[in-house]
Amino acid sequence: MASVDVRTIASLLREYAQRTALRGGNPYRAKAYTRAADSLAALAVPLDVFIAEDRLTEIPGVGDAIADIITKLHKTGTHPSLEKLRKEIPEGALEMLAVPGLRPEKVLRLYKDLGITSLAELEAAAKDDRIKKAKGLGAALQTKILQNLSIAKSGEGRLHLHRAAVLLAHAKDSLRKARPELKRVTIAGDFRRGCELVGDLTIVAEAVKIQKATNASAADGLQIRLSDRNHFGAALLFGTGSAAHIERLQALAAEKGMRLESDGLHKGRTLIAGDEAQIYSALGLPFIDPELREGRGEVELALKGKLPKLVTDKDLRGILHCHTDASDGTETLETMAKATRQRGFEYFGVADHSKSAHYAGGLSEQEIAQQHRDADRLNKRFGKDFRILKGIESDILADGSLDYADDVL
């Protein structure tokens, strides 16, 4: 049997993750399969190479056990454990796991009690009030489903920004090792625009002797755009997007008798600009930061000189929601506060776990009182230029209350 392509293997791993989650047990196992599937979608080197050279564990999120599963999937297109899991629930029901707040045990109940096997059936059941009438489900869950169905549909196939950062960093590093002749290797796409959900995994690289920007897909999911030095900026512009922003720039270029293409800005047969900043300038625009390139009127604002000023790292004044060794952190309140102050910040917000989170060393009332005394002592020492802010990551109990009395809160 011919080996299975990486896109299919990633899909099978995601199915493995979903079915494992529905089975119950250790929730981290299902998450591990999902992370590994995401990593496969962002490979800059063919999967065959990793398998042939026994390097699968170099891929983020892939340990020995998952490497063995990937190898079997690559060779046969399936796995005995996956086939066993497939007998427990139909494939369509897996779609429901994409709805935020809909936990695996609830998905199972929706399937077993109401016979729901797809997002479409789930939406119909919620609109018909069938979910709120079902024992163990209820009106609150039905409302949450109706609110979050659109999120499930719009976020399909996308990664959270922090996860995409890990995968793209690995892809960039792998590409540099595999093709050391490449020069500038830059992450583009949704990630460069700072999108919270990233679906466009793109890298732009400078190569030698490339006449025009080209796409070289290293793996399904990751796009690598190659360009020479003179056209690199244009390739980066198009690789960053968004489509709506590029279309508006092209329309502006046409209005000015020019032509914007993937290799640069042209007037007739002459290349006017191939650098990103030069293209904006030639179009009569200031440089538009990637985070603003969403096709939401930013070009018109730029023409009027009214682009908003972005928040940068230099604007941050402090950090919040930090855990100390009083719960599941690793350093003391004093050590963390001093380290924050040394970095030039003005405040440090502590928010250890509350007492219901006993698994994470949640603070008792007595421990909170001690932490507050420590904070007061340190604040007095620091003076007016730095302050510890007192907080807590308070659990919400089943009855809707918080797990401390009001006077503590």
pLDDT, tens digit (0-9, with 9 covering 90-100), for 109-144: 899 899 998 888 999 999 999 998 888 888 888 988
Give the pLDDT of residue 160: 87
Which residue from 318, 409, 403 is spatially nearest to 360, judged by alpha carbons?
403
CA 160, 162, 166: angle at the middle one, nearest 5?
115
What is the mean predicted confidence (pLDDT) over 226-254? 96
For residue 180, give Cα distances in angstroms to 173, 228, 316. Answer: 10, 15, 37
User: What's the pLDDT at 210?
Assistant: 66
pLDDT value at 301 more than 70: yes
Model pLDDT for residues 304-362, shown as the tens digit of each residue:
999 999 999 899 999 999 999 999 999 999 999 999 999 999 999 999 999 999 889 99
Q: Per-residue pLDDT averaged across 2-18, rounded?
A: 87
Would you say 356 and 395 are in contact if contact means Cβ atoms under 8 Å apart?
Answer: yes
Q: Residue 204 — pLDDT band, cuts 50, 70, 90?
A: very high
Are 21 and 194 within 8 A, CB to CB?
Answer: no
Amino acid identity at 257? G
Strand locations in 97-210 (E): 159-160, 185-187, 197-198, 201-206
Q: Is the pLDDT of residue 7 over 80?
A: yes
First to last CA, the chain: 63
Residue 212 has pLDDT above 70, yes or no: no
Instruction: Specify the pLDDT at position 23.
Output: 86
The confidence score (pLDDT) of residue 213 equals 55
- Predicted pLDDT at 5: 87
Domains and CATH numbers, the chain: 6-86 (1.10.150.110), 99-154 (1.10.150.20), 161-303 (3.30.210.10), 314-393 (3.20.20.140)
Determine phi and psi for 186, rounding to 5 degrees. -125, 135
Strands 197-198 and 347-353 turn out to be unpaired
Is the pLDDT reported for residue 211 higher than 60? no
pLDDT in tens, 135-188: 888 888 898 888 888 777 766 668 889 889 988 999 999 899 889 999 999 999
Of residues 180, 300, 280, 194, the one with CA closest to residue 237? 280
- Predicted local distance difference test score (pLDDT) of residue 214: 58
Q: φ and ψ at 150, to 5 degrees? A: -65, -35
Q: Which residue has the higher pLDDT, 208 or 283?
A: 283
Nearby residues of 62 by Cβ (< 8 Å), 6 or more positions away: 36, 39, 56, 70
Q: pLDDT per residue over 277-300, tens digit each?
A: 999 999 999 999 999 999 999 999
Predicted confidence at residue 388, as pLDDT, reads 98
Q: In what order do the strands lie in the sheet with 264-267?
A: 259-261, 264-267, 270-273
| DSSP state at residue 182 | -
Write down the mean pLDDT value for the chain: 91
Reduce the secondary structure of 20-51 to three states and give it as a string. HHHHCCCHHHHHHHHHHHHHHCCCCCCHHHHH
3-state helix, strand, coil in the chain (%, to 5): 50, 15, 35
Question: How much is the pLDDT for 343?
Answer: 94
Percent of the chain with pLDDT over 90: 67
Q: Is the pLDDT of residue 209 over 80?
A: no
Best CA proximity match to 193, nearest among 289, 278, 295: 289
Q: Quick one: which H or E segment has residue 265? A: strand 264-267
Split at pLDDT 50, 70, 90, the class of 66 is very high
On whether the CB atoms of residues 403 and 397 are closer than 8 A, the answer is yes
33-37, 100-104, 381-385, range with the lowest pLDDT: 100-104
What pLDDT score does 191 carry? 96
Query: Is the model's pLDDT at 87 over the cut of 80?
Result: yes
DSSP structure class, residue 354: B
Q: What is the mean pLDDT of residues 243-272?
A: 96
